Structure formats: C-alpha cells, structure tokens
Structure 1
Amino acid sequence: MSARRSGVRKLLTLAALLPIGLSLAAVPAPAAPAAFTHPGVLVSRAQLDFIRTEVNSGAQPWKSAYEQMMGSPYASLSRTAKPRSVVECGSYSNPNLGCTDEREDAIAAYTDALAWYLTQDDRYAKKSIELMDAWSATITGHTNSNAPLQTGWAGASWSRAAELVKSTYGDWPGAGRFATMLREVYLPKIIGGSTSNGNWELVMMEAAVGISVFLDDRAGYDSAMSRYRNRVAAYVYLSTDGALPKTVPGSGLNTRDQIVRYWQGQSTFLTGLTQETCRDFVHTGYGIASIADVAETSRIQGQDLYGTDVGERLRQALGFQSKYQLGAAVPGTLCGGKLTLGLGPVTEVGFDALHTRLGIAMTNTQTLTENQRPAGTNNLFVAWQTLTHAANPH
C-alpha cells in the first residue's frame, strides 16, 4: 500500500472513532511552488516599493509608521548583539536566559533589513548582517519548556530579516552559516508542531514556512503548510464546522468535555471565536497574527489562501475580537461574561488582504486597525505592520 493511501486510511479510521459532532481537519495538498519567489516572506518586492514611494512622499500613515520604526531601539546602528550558545526559556520565559535578547536581536535584524530597503543606506544592511552573523556563530540550541515557542518567535523574525537582506542587498560571507543555523538549530525544533495552545503551533509554522522559503526547502514548506492549515481550522470556529470545533489529527481531543476544556471552558461556540478567546486577547492576537502572516507569505509564493477557509476564519476572527476590543458588551454566554482584552498590533496584515485587496467590508476591524495606527511591535515577533501592510495594494 502506498504511503499516501495508508495515511488516508489512518485518518478515516480515526475519524470513524470520534463521537458524533467531532471533526478532524483535513490534511491539505502540497503547496510549495516549483520555484520560490524572493523576497517572499511576509513582504514582496512590489509591496516594499510601494512602501518606499509612500514614505518618500510623506503620505500617511506610512510616514508616521516609518518614523516610529526608525526611532525605535531596534533600528539603532549602535546596537550590540547578545548571542548565547543555548537559549533557555521556561514557562512565560522564566528562566529567561537569552530569550528576550534573541527575540529582540531578531526583530532588530528585520527592522534593519526594512530600513536598508527603504533608505538604501547600506549601514542598515550591514547592521542586520552583523546581528545575524553574531547569532549564527554562537547558538547551538534552545531548551526548557518554552523552547519550541521561543524558536518560533525568533525564527519568524530571523527568516524575514535574512530573506530581505539576501534578496535585496545580496549574499554575504556568513549567509551559508546563517542558513545552516536555521536548518539545524531552528527548523528541527518547530517543524513537528505542538499540542499546546494553538498560538504555539501557528507561530512555529510561521517560522517554519519563512525558513523554508529562505532555504528553498519545498519539503519543509509543504510540511509546515499542512500543519498550519489543520491548525487554522482547529483554532477559529465557524458554524459550518458543526456542533463542535474541528480538532487537529493526533491532538488527543476525542470528547466534547476535552474540547471544552481545551477551549478555556467555553461550551457555546460562535463564529469567529478562537481557541484562546476565553484565555485572553493577547494570546489570541498572537494566533491571529500568525494566521495572517502565513497566508500573506503563501500568496506571495503563488497560492492565495484568502479565498479558502483560511481567509474566512481570519475574517471572522478579526471581526469577532475587534468588536469586543472596541468595547462591545460581553454576553454571559461568552467566557462567563468577562474577557481579558489586549489584542495587540496584529490586525494590519489580515485587514489589508481582505479589505484593501479583496474589498470586503470589515467595519469593526477597520475601526480598531485605524485607531491603533501606527502599529508597532509586540517585542516577540510582530513588527511594523502599519508600515508594511497598511492599504498596500500589491
């Protein structure tokens, strides 16, 4: 029997064992392009050129977003990297042995890469390279309970930085070593996914997709995209899913009670609700950000997911969370009538794709997005998305 037929049979057998109302997400078809587009992680060359034109003309909101980025410590040309051989991150980054340093150096490398392209001042490209070289010469691994999440956070920013620099500035002497770091230190830690809260696997797959683009790794890309598609379907609920949310194959969520516990005790499922809405909006925002970021990279690489269930789940998740972040009354049937807000600077990419490019009306998301401009960084993996994606038509 072929591996493909064997895998399908296993899924069908598992699905048959599920109680009525539970559904597994389907394993998507391969998605990697025959040849990757570069630059192609989160931002394309056309998008970058649009940003540069708007910034140079002094147009808003790009001018203020650019000034915000350039005025941040992440853009400082005097920044000194703080690499460690082993980054140790426990729960909630306690202990924090290199966790913050790694994430922030990775964001700085991406910030400098953007600054290079927008200013054409090669000091910024060289600073980005300096930060990447410092870490690729030093790091050998991540450890403790938050290691997969930390690797995803940092890997998402490293891949954006490296992709921009290599594609628009050129190869540098340490580029091969940096690629080896991503391939041997980062990718193995994240490519297998996670059964923790959904934002973990989503950012891990965001990093894996970005790294795979940079490495021209079609197998890694397909593996990461398959896990991403399954996790998105299991992270945002749509009424068409049935009585209960979808589950990820191998999650161990086999009963209604198990699913309700995993969804933070929420037993009434509403379109746009996420698996972490009743936990807090901060972590929900992480998940939404990664859903949008991967969809954007996929679009650049030739497969537009916005017209699939991914786009619909993203649209509904943005609208649902935005409504309550803006102050709508919380019904007693939602999280016991109490929400912990704090969605963060995570709406620009999805809003741009769905509203600017596809023309979908998203009133609550639009209000929240415009109120939050310019969106800065969450100091983890989201950075400067008003600058890169506000009203960007490309």
Structure 2
Amino acid sequence: MSPARLLSAVCAVLVLLSAAIVPAAAAPPTFRHPGVFVSAAQLDFVRGRVNAGAQPWAGAYNQMMSHSLASLSRNPKPRAVVECGPYSKPNLGCTDERQDAIAAYTMALAWYITRDSRYAAKAISIMDAWSATIRDHTNSNAPLQTAWAGTSWAKAAELIRHTGAGWSPAGVNRFATMLREVYLPEIINGRAATNGNWELTMMEASLGIAVFLEDRSAYDRAVAKFRTRVPAYIYLTSDGALPKTPPGSGIDTRDEIIRYWHGETGFVNGLAQETCRDFTHTGYGIASIASFAETTRHQGQDIYPEIQDRLRHAMGFHARFELGESPGGLCDGTIKRGLGPVLEVGYNALAGRMGIPMNNTQRLVEQRRPEGTNMLFAAWQTLTHANNPA
C-alpha cells in the first residue's frame, strides 16, 4: 500500500474511533430557563392549585412549609472541604451540605409560590455562603456526595436566577464557578463499576449543572452516559439471559454480573441492579432516572420514549412489593422494602402525560401522598409533579 493510501486508511479509522468515543450532540441550540427538573409552566400550575386550596397540592405545600428546611431562621454551615466516607462515616459537612442544598431548593419553591422575597433572600444567602467557602469533596463517598448536593444546588440556582429573585450578578457568577470547578469535575465522568444509583445521580447532577452553566459539552456527555446506564440498571427480558453491563465497568462474566446484581439469578422485567441490595438505594436510581428525563424534556429533548418500558416496569415491579406482596423466590425470599418518596415524577410522566396504565404504581403513589423528602436529594415531588399536565 502506498504511503498516501496508508495515511488515508489510518485517517478513516481515526474518524470511526472518534465517532464511537464522542457522544452525539444532544444539547439544545438554545437552553430553556428555568429548565432544571421543573419549568415555569409546571410551577405556575402548582401555584394556582395551592392558591385554590386544591389537593394534593395544598397538603404537599403545607408539608413543605412546615418542614425545618423552609425555616427562615436557618443558618447555612458551609465548609471548605466536605469529607464523606462510606455511608458518610466520617461525616465532616456531608449532612450540612446536603440539607443546605435541599433547603435552598425548598426556599426557591416557596419564593415562586408565595412571591415572598424573604424566601428568595434566604435561598441566595445559603448559596452565597457555600460558593464563597467550598473548595473540595474528599474520601470514598466524594462523588456521590457531590452528586446529591449538586442536584439540589442546580435546581435551586436555576429557579432563583431565572425568576427575578434578585440574585446579584457577582453571586451568580461565583456560584457558577463553584459548580464548574468544584462539582462538575467530580461527577461528569461517572463511576461505571459502582452500584448504579451512584452514576445515575451523578448524571442527574451533571445535567442540571450543564443547563445552569449552558455547557453543551457537559450536557452531551451526561446524556450519553445516561443512555448506557439506564439499560444496565433496569432489566427487560428483551436484553437476553443476562442484564446489560455498564460500559467501562469491567463486569463481563456471568459470575461477575450476578455478584453485581447482588446475587439474583431470576431476571424479570423491572428488576433493578440494586433490588436485592435494598429498595431504598433502588429508589435513588429510579428517582434520578425520572428527574433526568424531566430536565431533558424541558430542554426540548423528550427522552421518556427511550426509557418508558424500563421505567414503568421498574416502578410497577417494586410497587407490588411495597404494597405487601410476598417476594417469593425474589432475592432468596428476603427483600428490604423502603422505596422512599421517589415515584411521583415518573408516574406523572408515564401515566399522566403518556397515558400508560400503571395500576400498582398508582395505588402506591396515591397511598403515600404527599411525598416529602429523603433528605438526600429528592424533595417535594407531590407538590411539583402530582397530576401536573405542564
């Protein structure tokens, strides 16, 4: 082969490799704001329902406003370095950061619904305190901690910045720098070999931050990672005899896959990678899947049709056992229930907007309304998403 033809062949291979490595563009040509998790149209609907005293929104609003996270006397507790080990041991600022972030989001919702500027000011003071202080997350749980806090920070900042709340340009810029330099680098690359709730929440946070920053590259990377992680987290029989595995995880053999799925060998529609670990961590994954899809929808990219079968099966499958069904042979006959306040968003999208029958999920959602907060990253989903057509 001549040098010219060899060079041409090499270039062709490089082009193919780059196409496989670089995710397809997903970011919108123009970002929509507010557009992280909730939109102005959704919140206008909520505000009208709350002011009319309609249920379940009025009850959900009262639940939120009576919570300590909505207290106007709250004082933030920022730290320069947040250190979180396994299960937050040690816990050096972990709880404080997560709860301050959820509090900022809570205040932002309260501001939007009440138009009481005190709530906007409190949200701003919390975010300003942290952006002036934090520099790093350390120890083994650093990626997960960063993701948990990052999801709430992005929601709060997006609402406050784009609803006339009075956040100064200097405050906005400093907070944006914090998200860009302290949070995004810790989470954007994911953690393929960890339990799936980690990477799903990391992508939820990355996407929200990308929208706030209008960072198209980060947006595209988050969507690309999400599209491979969801099929590796929720099983469908169409996947074959064994579940899909996260790219780059090194989980390749049958024995490795079964260990990764916490010993389960009876793969059925809706089983999640962490089902046999416990339903609580599974709920984290389900929450982040639905929340991620909400944000892309607000940005003009409806990803729900891609994930609807996995999400509806996962929600319905776990709802059956939360409602009391015996596990039978599932997880060797022992399951740890406790899905948490995580179903409202996915249920509203699939059953409400898309018209998919979800009887078990409906029973569980309606039984548990209003859904509050898990004090990690999921909060007030009945208020924002129950029967919300927007």
TM-score of the pair, normalised by structure 2: 0.95
- Cα distance in 2 for partners of 1:380, 1:212 equals 21
Give the C-alpha shift of residue 229 in structure 1: 1.2
The 4+ residue runs of structure 1 with deviation greater than 3 A are 1-4, 7-10
- Cα distance in 2 for partners of 1:144, 1:93 equals 9
Give the C-alpha shift of residue 30 in structure 1: 2.5
Mapping of 1:362-377 within 5 angstroms? 362-377=358-373
- Cα distance in 1 for partners of 2:23, 2:332 equals 35
Give the C-alpha shift of residue 7 in structure 1: 4.7
The answer as to whether partners of 1:125 and 1:169 remain within 8 angstroms in 2 is no
- Cα distance in 1 for partners of 2:83, 2:214 equals 29
Give the C-alpha shift of residue 29 in structure 1: 3.2
The answer to whether the aligner puts 1:177 opposite 2:198 as a matched pair is no
Match of 1:167 among 159, 162, 174: 162
Match of 1:49 in 2: 44
The answer to whether the aligner puts 1:83 opposite 2:94 as a matched pair is no
Give the SS at the match of 1:145. Answer: coil
Give the C-alpha shift of residue 8 in structure 1: 5.9
Mapping of 1:1-394 within 5 angstroms? 1=11, 5-7=16-18, 29-170=24-165, 171-172=167-168, 173-194=170-191, 195-308=193-306, 310-332=307-329, 334-394=330-390
**Partner amino acid for 2:243?**
P
- Cα distance in 2 for partners of 1:119, 1:50 equals 13
- Shift in alpha-carbon separation, 1:383–1:253, aligned structure 2, 3 A: same
Give the C-alpha shift of residue 28 in structure 1: 6.3
TM-score of the pair, normalised by structure 1: 0.94
* RMSD between superposed Cα atoms in Å: 1.2
Give the SS at the match of 1:142. Answer: strand
**Partner amino acid for 1:6?**
L
- Cα distance in 1 for partners of 2:69, 2:55 equals 22
Larger radius of gyration between Structure 1 and Structure 2: 2
**% identical equivalent positions:** 64
The answer as to whether partners of 1:89 and 1:150 remain within 8 angstroms in 2 is yes
CA displacement 1:113-150 (0-9 Å, x = unmatched): 00000000111011000000000000000000000000
**Partner amino acid for 2:225?**
R
Which segments of 5 or more consecutive residues in structure 1 lack a partner in the other structure?
11-26
CA displacement 1:312-368 (0-9 Å, x = unmatched): 111111000101111112121x10011100000000000000011111110000010
Which segments of 5 or more consecutive residues in structure 2 lack a partner in the other structure?
1-10
